[in-house]
Structure formats: C-alpha cells, structure tokens
Chain A
C-alpha cells in the first residue's frame, strides 16, 4: 500500500513510458504560461545580450579578455537562466497543487520533466541565438570554430540548468528559499569553472573540485570552440560530460516527484 501499485493489465492507461502527445501538451502549456508573462520573456532574452554588451566595453582596452570571458558566458547564461526559471516554475507547480493533480492523472513523470525541458530548451535556443549572434557579429567575438557548436553547448547547458532547477526545487518550500539556491548551487560553480582564471592555476584542491562540477565542462566546451576550427576530442568529452550530468540530474529530479507525499 505504501508504494504505487504495479501496472494493471489495461496498459493503455498506464503512464509508465514517455507519451509524446502528453509531453508536447505539457511543453505547450509551459510556453503558453510564459506567453502571458512577456516581461519575464524579455528579461530572459535581453539580459544576456546587455551583459555581453557591457563586458565588451568594460574590456575595451583588452579584446583578448573579452574573447575568453565572452565565450564562457555564452555557456553560463543559459544554465543560470534556466536554473532560476525551472526551480521557480516547478516550485509553483508543487505548492499550487497542480503537481498533485497531474500525478493523480494519467501523466508520467517523464512526460512532465521532458515537457519542461522542451519548453525551456526552446527558450534557451532563442536566447543563445540572440546572444551568440550579438557576440559574433556585432561585438566582434573571435570564434575559430563553428557557431553551431556554440549553440549545441548552450542548449546542453540550458538542459543542465533545467535539470538542476527541477532537482533543487524539491528542497525548497518557498520561492524565497528557491532563489537562495541560486547562490548556493550556481555561484561556487561560477567561481571554479575557469571564468576568472584558468582552472589549472587554482590551488590543487580547488582544481580537483572544479573537475567534478558540470559548469567547468560547459565553459571548457565553449573555449574549445573558441580556439579550434574542428571538433576536438576535448570538445567531445566536454559535451558528453555536460549531457550525462544533465541526464543524471534529470533522473534525480524525477525521483523527487512523488505521487504519494506525507
């Protein structure tokens, strides 16, 4: 009795596998909710562009610095934005009772999570297109590799951000707490990811810590594209690690969605 019963013979009603129509309906619903909130969309899309613009002229005298930081930031922005948006959105889903209602309906947990990932992933792609376009063609960011690879890493970062946000929202009981998870989860990664100084220059213990934080690989991936015309082995490693982390955290996030709650 304490756990969900095994699937009944009528498996048509069983939501154990991913259902494409339900997943897409969820993604469409999340985007529809956002559409009623144009200010949030504007902030999500414009803030990264404004930050890049700002940095470009802060480092007016040393374009090399802007080059390094700019490429890293193209990986960091989607992660942070999607982390914040997802943690608040899922928290609201939990506290408003809609999550309980959905889980009492024939909706699989995977439908919900993948639906969120698709919706916010779409938004992240638009955000990255704007930020990358601005950085490359207006601000003169000098990238040797293909801009498509930048976009690929940005998308994976966004999904990682979505996954982390979903996961930590389980540990927040208010939006106040959820926002505090941002400095707790994101800032240490930001400091250690190689944005401020190359990771190999850090104190060895910190370097080891940075080796196990996913944002380090998101930034490394961006820098590989920045410096190499082709896909390097390191780039492939970075992409695989970020994707694997995203999947792992998504699975952990799914485990925090309980049909039965105390």
Chain B
C-alpha cells in the first residue's frame, strides 16, 4: 500500500500549518439545503500541492462541500476562500478543474469534440488553436482514452464516460482539482493508474481535493478530512490518524471515529430525553 505522507515531507506539514499558503480555507462554514443544515459550521484548511482526501459515509455532505468550493452551491455562509479568493469568484473559474459524481459530458459528441468544446471555453480565440489541440491530446492520453477519442461519449462504458469527465477537468492548467468520487466504477488497474496520475499532478504543484469512500484510496492521500453528518471528525495525515486512533489502517480509524461519534450522539439523545421527561 502506498503512502505519500512520508514522502512529501518537503512540501507537506510545514505548509499545512500555515493558513496563508492554504489552497482552501474554511471558517465556520455552514450550508443549508431546503430546511436542513447539511454542513454545520466546519473549519479546515487544505494545503497547496498535496492530495487531500475527503471521506465520509454517503449523505454526509461531501458533494455539498465540493459544490460550495466550486461556487455552485447556494445558501453558503461563513468564510470559504479558494486560492486566496472567495469561493465562486470569477477569477477562479479558469483555475479550478471540477469532476462531478455523475459524468457531465455531452453524450452526443465524441470524446475529442467534448474536450475541444470545453477547451474553447477555457482558452478561446483563434490564436490559441494549437495550444488547445495540445491540451486536448494530452488530457485524452492522461485518462488513457486515445483509442476511443473519436467514439461518441454516449457509446462508452460507465467507467470510460467518467474518465472523459475527468479529462475535462485536466484541461488547461488548473491550480486546484476538485474531484467528486472520480474512481467509482473503475477497475483496479485503472484506479491505480489514475492515482499515479493524481500524485504526478500534485508533484507539479497542483492541489487535489478528492472524495472517495474506498478506504485504500485514503491511504494514498497526503491528508484526510473525515466527515460525518455535516461535521468534521478529523483533519489529519493518514499516519497521524492511525497513530492517534491506534489502528492499523485508515479504514479502522475511520470506523472507530464514526462509532465514537454515534455513541456520543446516543448519550446526548438519551440525556435530552431524560431531561424532557423530567
């Protein structure tokens, strides 16, 4: 099992401690959807040039948090700074690559036509034609779809379509990649290759925030944010997390944290019930 936390000591923990250099900084971040508080006053910082994993049970607010960072989520309060700008700022739009959970590509265009269009939005104008072509070819190669470049996206398999969606996020030179479960439905070989790609990208200085519920992927992150029910349970390196929880794997540590939180909630609930019946 790979663990980048130890290997990244050069640009890792020191920067993480310094909020000035954080790629994403949240303070008292709250998001309301409908009448429910989906994210409840959380604080965290995502260091630059690292892979930060966002983990948690489904429905815990991971996607909402990612949408807030992208500036597509309504009813966000508190502080949320991305690359030094308020989330959703127009300045950020060409600097963040975003992959939603469902592949967001045009099914009635080929892989290359999809990328050509999104690239034309990022870097428009006739003068940039060659540069666009380079970026598109590179992105197709990075997600290993060269042989399918001229196939309609709608005719691809689920895993292939999600890779097209990922390729769109890799276009241009994003400073931050926000990836919402990019490896769901992919076979082990592809997952390994994509994680290799992520670490290469991070080594180039790009920050990656990636959500997942596959725990062996968590081990490959430099840093982890563990969420449960709209709150942060942990914000630590995988190593520190395992040591602190005295567990062999991040999965065990995560399960123990969730169990403890559930137990606390039950006790509080019981006390609350006792007081109200009194």
Footprint of B on A, CB under 8 Å? 1-2, 4-5, 7-8, 10, 13-16, 19, 21-22, 25-26, 28-29, 32-33, 36-37, 96-98, 100-107, 258-262
Task: State the CA gap A4–B73 with chains docked (Å).
Answer: 10
Distance to closest chain B CB from A174 (angstroms): 16
Interface residue B76 (Cβ < 8 Å from any Cβ of A)? yes
Q: Is the interface of B mostly helix, strand, loop or mixed?
A: mixed
Which residues of chain A are near B107, meaning CB under 8 Å?
96
Which residues of chain B are near A102, meaning CB under 8 Å?
121
Tell me how many residues of B have a C-beta within 8 Å of chain A: 43
Q: Mark B163-180, 1 if CB is under 8 A from A, else 0.
A: 000001000000000000
Which residues of chain B are near A8, meaning CB under 8 Å?
85, 89-91
Query: Do residues A105 and B122 form an inter-chain contact, with CB atoms below 8 A?
Result: yes
Task: State the CA gap A2–B104 with chains docked (Å).
Answer: 24
Q: Among B34, B80, B93, B105, which residue has its beta carbon within 8 angstroms of that of A105?
A: B93
Query: Do residues B72 and A21 form an inter-chain contact, with CB atoms below 8 A?
Result: no
**Which 10 residue pairs across A and B have the least CB separation, nearest first?**
A97-B104, A21-B124, A25-B120, A8-B91, A260-B74, A29-B117, A106-B93, A33-B108, A101-B104, A14-B90
> By CB atoms of chain A within 10 A, which of B80, B94, B120, B121 has the most?
B121
Distance to closest chain B CB from A32 (angstroms): 6
Distance to closest chain A CB from B217 (angstroms): 22
> Could you list 25 A-B pairs, sorted by A, with CB under 8 Å?
A2-B74, A4-B89, A4-B90, A7-B90, A13-B94, A15-B90, A19-B124, A21-B124, A21-B126, A22-B121, A25-B120, A25-B121, A26-B117, A28-B117, A29-B106, A29-B109, A36-B152, A96-B102, A101-B100, A103-B72, A104-B96, A106-B93, A106-B94, A106-B121, A260-B72
Q: Mark B71-103, 1 if CB is under 8 A from A, else 0.
A: 111111110100001111111011010101011
Task: State the CA gap A105–B172 with chains docked (Å).
Answer: 11
Interface residue B188 (Cβ < 8 Å from any Cβ of A)? no
Task: State the CA gap A260–B76 with chains docked (Å).
Answer: 10
With A22-B124, A97-B100 known as contacts, the answer to whether A1 contacts B152 (CB < 8 A) is no
Which residues of chain A are near B96, meaning CB under 8 Å?
104
A262 nearest CB neighbor, chain B only: B74
Query: Do residues A1 and B72 form an inter-chain contact, with CB atoms below 8 A?
Result: no
Task: State the CA gap A97–B114 with chains docked (Å).
Answer: 14
Interface residue B125 (Cβ < 8 Å from any Cβ of A)? yes
Which residues of chain B are near A261, meaning CB under 8 Å?
72-74
Which residues of chain A are near B88, meaning CB under 8 Å?
4-5, 259-260
B169 nearest CB neighbor, chain A only: A101
Interface residue B44 (Cβ < 8 Å from any Cβ of A)? no
Which residues of chain A are near B105, meaning CB under 8 Å?
96, 98
Interface residue B195 (Cβ < 8 Å from any Cβ of A)? no
Distance to closest chain B CB from A36 (angstroms): 5
With A2-B77, A13-B91, A260-B73 known as contacts, the answer to whether A36 contacts B104 (CB < 8 A) is no
Distance to closest chain A CB from B69 (angstroms): 10
B119 nearest CB neighbor, chain A only: A25
Task: State the CA gap A98–B105 with chains docked (Å).
Answer: 6
Task: State the CA gap A29–B118 with chains docked (Å).
Answer: 10
Query: Do residues A4 and B121 form an inter-chain contact, with CB atoms below 8 A?
Result: no
Which residues of chain B are near A19, meaning CB under 8 Å?
124
A103 nearest CB neighbor, chain B only: B72
Other contacts beyond A100-B100, A259-B71: 14, CB < 8 A: A1-B86, A10-B91, A21-B125, A22-B121, A22-B124, A25-B121, A25-B124, A26-B121, A96-B104, A97-B100, A101-B118, A105-B118, A261-B73, A262-B75
Query: Do residues A98 and B93 form an inter-chain contact, with CB atoms below 8 A?
Result: no
Interface residue B186 (Cβ < 8 Å from any Cβ of A)? no
Query: Do residues B78 and A1 form an inter-chain contact, with CB atoms below 8 A?
Result: yes
Interface residue B70 (Cβ < 8 Å from any Cβ of A)? yes
B104 nearest CB neighbor, chain A only: A97
Task: State the CA gap A97–B70 with chains docked (Å).
Answer: 13
Q: Mark B185-208, 1 if CB is under 8 A from A, else 0.
A: 000000000000000000000000
Distance to closest chain A CB from B169 (angstroms): 9
Q: Mark B232-262, 1 if CB is under 8 A from A, else 0.
A: 0000000000000000000000000000000
